[in-house]
Amino acid sequence: MVELIGLLIAGYFVTLPVLGMLVALVLIAIGPKPITAARVYETLLRQFLLFGIGLAYVVNFIFHSFFGELAASLIGWEDSPFQFEVGVASLGFGLVGFFAIRRDTAVRFAALLGPAAFVWGAAVGHIIQIVTAGNHSPGNAGFMLYADILLPFISFVLLWLAARHPLPEGQDAPDGVGGTADLRPGVSHGSPRR
């Protein structure tokens, strides 16, 4: 049980998106009826942006910036000053993820694109390390490698579905987080613009 808890904590890039999807399902279940495809996709995307991008990358910032030696050991590498730089880049991704929750499709795409490039590049590096150095450390191989490859695809599918099925003007997703957060005076705050 202790090992499972440790794996869940160390695997926050998987745990947090899964937690976000569970929160989304609860919000959908207790939210307004009837349940529409637009509300389902919008809620899933918002929670993915909150948990899978915003929170996950802020945790990555903390992990690499303040616990760099542990982070490096889980990947099978030596600690390096570059850990802090990876951490600060992750902080930027996380902040953009939070910012994009209530924004239009273009901003949301940008919030997903940077992390996707980062983890797909990391996946290539992990595969190279597996092949050339036999590095099968928990943070380099196994479910983390699969997550690096699959989570961006899932995020882009959620974005595409939410864009194809926009909330009708004046409706909101069950999480109660309004639509577009355009702060200009007189701008509607309904469904995110597509």
194, part of any domain: no
Model confidence pLDDT, tens digit, residues 43-62:
999 999 999 999 999 999 99
pLDDT of 184 reads: 40
The letter for the amino acid at 89 is A
Q: Which CA distances in Å does 135 have to 4, 6, 63, 67, 103?
A: 21, 20, 21, 21, 40
Model confidence pLDDT, tens digit, residues 78-95:
888 888 999 999 999 999
Residue 99: partners with Cβ closer than 8 Å, 6 or more residues away: 107, 111
Residue with tokens 């959620």: 158
188, part of any domain: no
Backbone angles phi, psi at 135, to 5 degrees: -80, 105
pLDDT of 8 reads: 59
180, part of any domain: no
| Residue 10 to residue 67: CA distance in whole angstroms | 12
Into how many domains does the chain fold?
A: 1
Residue 183: partners with Cβ closer than 8 Å, 6 or more residues away: none
Model confidence pLDDT, tens digit, residues 18-32:
999 999 999 999 999
76, part of any domain: yes
73, part of any domain: yes
For residue 1, pLDDT over 90 is answered with no
For residue 114, pLDDT over 70 is answered with yes
pLDDT of 95 reads: 98
171, part of any domain: no
pLDDT of 11 reads: 82
pLDDT of 10 reads: 67
193, part of any domain: no
Q: DSSP letter at 190?
A: S
Which candidate, 119, 109, 67, 69, places its Cα nearest to that of 89? Answer: 119
pLDDT of 50 reads: 98
Q: What range does the domain containing 50 cover?
A: 2-164
Model confidence pLDDT, tens digit, residues 3-15:
555 555 668 888 9
Residue 76: left (phi > 0), alpha (psi -120 to 50), or beta?
left
Find out whether the peptide bond into 168 is cis, omega within 30 degrees of 0.
Answer: no
Model confidence pLDDT, tens digit, residues 134-190:
988 877 788 888 999 999 999 999 999 999 999 887 776 666 554 444 434 444 444
Neighbouring C-beta atoms of residue 66, cutoff 10 Å = 12
